[in-house]
Amino acid sequence: MVDGVLYSAQSDGNFQAQSFDGAALGAPTVINLNGLIDFPTELGTMTGLFYDRATARNYYTLAGNSNLYYRYFETQSGNPRCHPLHCLRRHYRIEFCRRPLDGS
């Protein structure tokens, strides 16, 4: 969600935007992909998606793939740009750990 707009990848290959005021979602609007022919396929298989305002990038993961990808995304125009770029693992390593509920 960016500036009161929720962006989401749909399993049918659409990328959509909806206003959100904290309680109710507005009507969805499909975002024009501007000829990015591989993006709809990716949208349908995304398992995670987040936006980094500082870099104007959408980072995402795909089903059956351990890589982290990104595309530039301009929230002002609502346009995704360029082909997917692969994040090098040595630069974008994300580690999760599991801690017991008792805090030990």
Q: Is 80 exposed, middle or buried (0-12, 13-18, 19+ CB in 10 A)?
A: buried
Q: Is 14 exposed, middle or buried (0-12, 13-18, 19+ CB in 10 A)?
A: middle
Q: Which contiguous run of DSSP H or E holds residue 102?
A: none
CB atoms within 10 A of CB 61: 17
Q: Which contiguous run of DSSP H or E holds residue 45?
A: helix 39-45
CB atoms within 10 A of CB 20: 13
Q: What is the C-alpha to C-alpha distance for residues 78 and 7, in angstroms, rounded to an integer?
A: 9
Q: Where are the domains of the chain?
A: 5-86
The ranges of the chain with pLDDT < 50 are 83, 88-101, 103-104
